[in-house]
Amino acid sequence: MTATLLTSDEQLHWNEFGYLHIRNALGPDEVSAILAAITDLHQRVTGQPRSPQPCDDAAAWDDVFDAGNERDLSIANAIAHVEALGPLLDHYAVFGRILGLMGPYVQVLGSEIFIRYPHQQPLVDFHTDLGPSLRLAAPSHGKQIQLKVQFFLTDLTEPDSGNFTIAPGSHTRGFPGKIAYADVEDPVQILARAGDAVIFPLSLGHGVAPNRSATSRVSVVLRYGQIFCRTVDYRTASPGLLDRLTQRQCRLLGDFGVRSRPGDVYGAVPDQLDLIYGSEWAGIEEAQRDIRKARIDQLAYETL
């Protein structure tokens, strides 16, 4: 596979429809390892009696969210609870696209596991993920401030299987913060196989279809943001988690090494581009351009 950031076709598709569907982003072995780890965690968090063992400590129960409506269960701070998710942070099949859409000053603000149970009604109403603050400030073009990637771990090749459902093109039209599933005109259910990934901006209207199949749908969502954005799951990633990740994956969780003051995200970060583009993407023209610009900025910081 040749390394790319974003092809012009992908950029056009993103601009028009507001998402990218990357097929077979994960191979079958990756899917089964992650799914087994999530199934195990799910059994532990739903098993009785509750004990602190599902996560690192008892407080981690706060990350488990069960609305009690038999529609779904979600687990926030997923990267901290499932070791097999670490490689998704900068996965080769999607990370280049994320850099193409966002540029290299990115981090992962949060990660979430979704287990969506069989249920006759839509599982989640339509909404955007912007919230009132980002809605006001979000630019309509240029690099994304935040976006999400959803990795599907079970097959969703038929509609009404708890599919991720979108209002294509709504990302540029000021979609409401929340609206009943039934009130959305022409919702499109994404038909995905286990291993596919979908990247979408927070401004895209999306919801979750009913799950009239016999099995639960399982997926993982990562939220990426510019490095100045506030994290969702953590203030500082725990040392235990960082110990088992690569340097780039640690950077993506806000670890700036010796440069650890909060204000550093507003200055030049000397090793950011080399680390983030890495050997995989550094040779691409757009990356080279960014790297040259960053060197000039860095020099100016140091010498002027």
The owner of tokens 């129960």 is 61
Q: Is 164 in the site for ligand AKG (CB under 6 A)?
A: yes
Residues from 199 through 218 that contact ligand AKG (CB under 6 A)? 206, 208
CB of 64 to ligand AKG, least distance (A): 16
CB of 221 to ligand AKG, least distance (A): 4
Structure tokens at 189: 């259910």
According to the binding rule CB under 5 A, does residue 129 interact with Fe ion? yes
Nearer to ligand AKG, 164 or 224 (CB): 164
Gyration radius of the chain over CA positions:
19
Q: Per-residue string for binding with Fe ion, 68-97, x by CB under 5 A?
A: ------------------------------
Tell me how far, at minimum, the Cβ of 223 lies from Fe ion, in Å: 10
Q: Identify which of 275, 269, 270, 274 has the alpha carbon closest to the alpha carbon of residue 252.
A: 275
Tokens of 63: 């990350």
The reply to whether 148 sits near ligand AKG by the rule CB under 6 A is yes
Of 209, 106, 104, 190, which is closest to residue 148 (Cα–Cα)?
106
Q: How many CB atoms are located within 10 Å of the residue 29 CB?
A: 9
Q: Which is nearer to ligand AKG, 102 or 294 (CB)?
A: 102
Number of residues that bind ligand AKG (CB under 6 A): 10
Q: Which of 95, 105, 114, 181 is in the footprint of ligand AKG by CB under 6 A?
A: 114
Contact between 99 and 286 under an 8 Å Cβ cutoff? The reply is no
C-alpha distances in Å from residue 67, one per residue of 47, 64, 71, 113, 271: 16, 10, 8, 14, 42
Which single residue is written with the structure tokens 């529609």? 71
- Contact residues for Fe ion (CB under 5 A)? 129
- Contact residues for ligand AKG (CB under 6 A)? 114, 124, 129, 148, 150, 164, 206, 208, 219, 221
